[in-house]
Amino acid sequence: MRARRRVVGRLAAWSVLETAQTFLTGYALARALDAGFLAGRVDVGLGWLAAAALAVVVGAYGTGRVYGAVAALVEPLRDRLVRHVVERGVRDADRGALSRLTQQVEIARDTFAGLVMVSRSFVFTAAGALIGLFSLAPALLLVVAPPLVAGVALFTLTLRPLTRRQEAFLVADEELADRLGTVCPGLRDITAAGAEDPVAADAGARIAAEQCAARSLARWGVLRVVALAIGGQLPIVLLLATAPWLLAHGVTPGALVGALAYVTQSLLPALQNLIHGLGTSGSRLAVVLRRLAPDTPAPTKSSAPVNAPAPDTTPAPGPTPPGRPPAAVTLSSLTFAYGPASEPVIDGLDLSVPHGTHLAVVGPSGIGKSTLTALIAGLLAPTGGSVGIHPAPDRPGPDLPVPGHPGHPTRVLIPQEAYVFTGTLAENLGQLRPDRVPERELLAAAEAVGLSALLDRLGGPTAEVDPGALSSGERQLIALTRAYLARASLALLDEATCHLDPAAEERVERAFARRGGTLVVVAHRISSALRADRVLVMDGRRTEYGSHDDLLERSPLYRDLVGAWSPVGEAPAVPAAPPAHRPGTSHPALPLRDPDGVDTVAGAGLPRDRRHVVAYGPVGQMEASGDLRDGGPLGGQ
C-alpha cells in the first residue's frame, strides 16, 4: 500500500462520502426530532429525514467507487504472489506449489480485499459517528468514546497471539492430515507387521496436539467477544443509564436518540465487522502470507545462497600472457541444481574460453549442455560459483557478471526452438539491432548463413512472414541470421541447427566462425566438434576440455561419441580401433543391452544401405533418415 499511495488517496477520497453518510445518520435524526416533530413542524422533520436518505444514496455511490480502488490495491498483490509461487515451484520442484497457486493465493487475495474494506469502513464510520456525537453534545462523546477506545485496544492486543495460535492450529491440522494420508493406505501392512500400537500412539499424539491448539485458539477467541461487548454494546448501556443526567445537563431528547442511532447503526456494526474481519481473516492472511513468503536461502558449499544470483567472484582478466588471447567467458566453481534437494546438473565446473574460440559442447542427453548455455546467457542463476563475461578487446568496457543486464549486446543465445514473429522478414532479422539494418548488410548476412533461397522464395526482405507456414529448419535459419546480424561478440548456439541438414549446419557454423567473436555450440552431431577449436565433453563431474585429438586420447566418452558417429569410408576417428569398428565392416552402433534400453542397430555394410551409417544412440543423439547424404531412408525404414 505504501508503494501505491495514489490509489490509497483515491480510496480515502471516495470513503469520505461514507463519513458524510454516517454523520447525517444521527445528526439528521436528532434535528428532525428537536427542530421538527417535537416542535410541531412536520415539514422540517421530513426535510431532515430526506437529507439523511439522500446521504445514503450518495454514500452508496461512493462505496461503488471504493471497490474499484480496492481492486487496484489487491490485484497487484495477487500477481506478485502468483509470480513468486510459480518461480519457486519451477526452481525448487515445490510439491505444494499447486495448492499455493490455486488456493492460498486466492485466500490471500480475497482476505486482503476484505481487510481493506472492513478497516477502511471502521475508520471512516467511527470518524463520522464521533464527529456527529461532538456536534450534538460534547457530553455524549464522553460517554461513548472511552469504552469504544478500550474495546479496540483490547482487540488489538489479541491480534498477535491469535495469529500465532491460528498458525499453530493449521500446522497441527496439516501434520495430522499428512500422517493419516500415509497411514490409511497401509493399514493392512500395519496390521500384518503388528505395528498397530505405535501407529495409533503417533496418530493419537497428533490428534491431541491439534486439540490443544484448537482449545488455545478458542480461549483467545473469547477475548474478541469481550472486546466487542466493551467497545460496541457497553456504550448503549451507558447512554441509557446516564440518560437522566444527560437530559438534565442540556442534552436534548433528539440528541440522545441520535447518539443511540450512531452507536447501534454505525459504530456497533463497524466494530463487529472489524473484529471478525481482522480476528479471523487477518489471522488467516498472516499465516498464508508467511507460507507464501520467500524461504530464507541456505548457504551452499560455495557460500552462495541457494536460488539467488551468486556474487561476482570472477577475477579480473588481468594482463594477458604473450601469445594468448584474453578470456571471453570464465566459469569459476560453477554449480547449478534445479532444486535444493536435487543433484547438481553442473558441479564445480572451472573453464576459461579465450576470445575468438569456436567451442563445441558435447555429451549425453540430459547431462546439462543446455543448462550451461542458459547460465552463460544469464537466463539461470548459479547455485554456486560464478560466471563472468568479459568484453572483447575491441569493445572496451567493464566485466559483466552473469546473471545481470538482460539483453546486453555482449552475448546472444539461439535456442533449439527458434522464435519468429508475424511481420516482415527484415523486422525479424533486425530484431536484435537498435538501428535499422541496411538492406545490403541484410542480404550479405542471409547469403553467409544460407537464408538467401528462403528470402527469395518469400519475396525479399519486405515480405510478410507467417511463422505457422515455415518449417522448423526455416525458422532456425531466420533466428540464426538474426543472431548473425547482432552486435554480440559471444554467440551461443543451443542445438540451434538441429533441424538443418549437415551441409546447412556446416555452412552456419563456418559463417559464425568467419564473423568473428566467440562461438559456443551445443553439438548434436559430432561433425560440429570436428570443426571446433576446442571441445567441452560434459559427463557430470568428469568434464574434459581440449582439442579433438587430445580428447580422443584421454576421454573414453568422447571416443564413444565419435565412434558412434563415424561415417563409412572415412578413417576411424579413434586410433587403433578394434577390427569390428573399422570402416566397411558391419557392427552394432551400441553395445548389446545398452543402459538406455535402445535396441542395437547394425551399422555399415548392410545391403542397400548405400554405404551410410545410421547412428542409433541415446535419445537426442539419433540421426533421422533425412540426415543421410542422399536424403533417403535406410532399407525403407
| Per-residue model confidence (pLDDT) at position 102 | 61
| Per-residue model confidence (pLDDT) at position 96 | 53
For helices 253-261 and 234-241, the axis angle rounded to 10 degrees is 170
Handedness of CA 68, 73, 79, 85 (dihedral sign): negative
Q: Residue for cell digits 548434436? A: 524
| Per-residue model confidence (pLDDT) at position 499 | 86
| Per-residue model confidence (pLDDT) at position 481 | 92
Phi, psi of 339 (to 5 degrees): -175, 160
| Per-residue model confidence (pLDDT) at position 298 | 35
Amino acid identity of residue 349, one-letter, is L
pLDDT tens digits, 376-395: 988 888 988 889 888 766 55
Distance CA(294)–CA(297), nearest Å, equals 8
Distance CA(278)–CA(228), nearest Å, equals 13
- Top-confidence residue, 332 or 398: 332
Contact 346, 361 (CB under 8 A): no
pLDDT tens digits, 461-493: 898 988 888 888 899 999 999 999 888 888 999
| Per-residue model confidence (pLDDT) at position 325 | 63
What's the chain's average pLDDT? 77
Q: Are strands 464-465 and 327-336 parallel, antiparallel or unpaired?
A: unpaired
Look at residue 23 and tell me whether its pLDDT is greater than 80.
Answer: yes
- Find, among 487, 512, 377, 394, the residue nearest to 432 by Cα: 487
| Per-residue model confidence (pLDDT) at position 589 | 40
Confidence tier at 181 by pLDDT (50, 70, 90) = confident
Distance CA(368)–CA(362), nearest Å, equals 10
Contact 73, 7 (CB under 8 A): yes
- Top-confidence residue, 184 or 140: 140
Distances in Å between the Cα of 494 and the Cα atoms of 9, 366, 409, 419, 480 are 50, 13, 18, 13, 11
Q: What mean pLDDT is predicted for residues 336-345?
A: 81
- Top-confidence residue, 366 or 136: 136
Look at residue 324 and tell me whether its pLDDT is greater than 90.
Answer: no
| Per-residue model confidence (pLDDT) at position 46 | 92
- Find, among 233, 349, 221, 332, the residue nearest to 278 by Cα: 221
pLDDT tens digits, 451-462: 999 999 989 989
Distance CA(612)–CA(210), nearest Å, equals 71
Contact 496, 523 (CB under 8 A): no
Contact 492, 373 (CB under 8 A): yes
| Per-residue model confidence (pLDDT) at position 597 | 41
| Per-residue model confidence (pLDDT) at position 11 | 86
Handedness of CA 539, 543, 544, 545 (dihedral sign): positive
Grid cell locating 156: 488489538
378 contact partners, CB below 8 Å, separation of at least 6: 387, 402, 403, 404, 405, 406, 408, 411
pLDDT tens digits, 528-544: 888 888 999 988 778 88
Distances in Å between the Cα of 454 and the Cα atoms of 267, 468, 481 are 76, 15, 12
pLDDT tens digits, 204-259: 998 998 899 889 888 888 888 899 999 999 999 999 999 999 999 889 999 999 99
- Find, among 486, 511, 515, the residue nearest to 497 by Cα: 511
Distance CA(484)–CA(412), nearest Å, equals 9
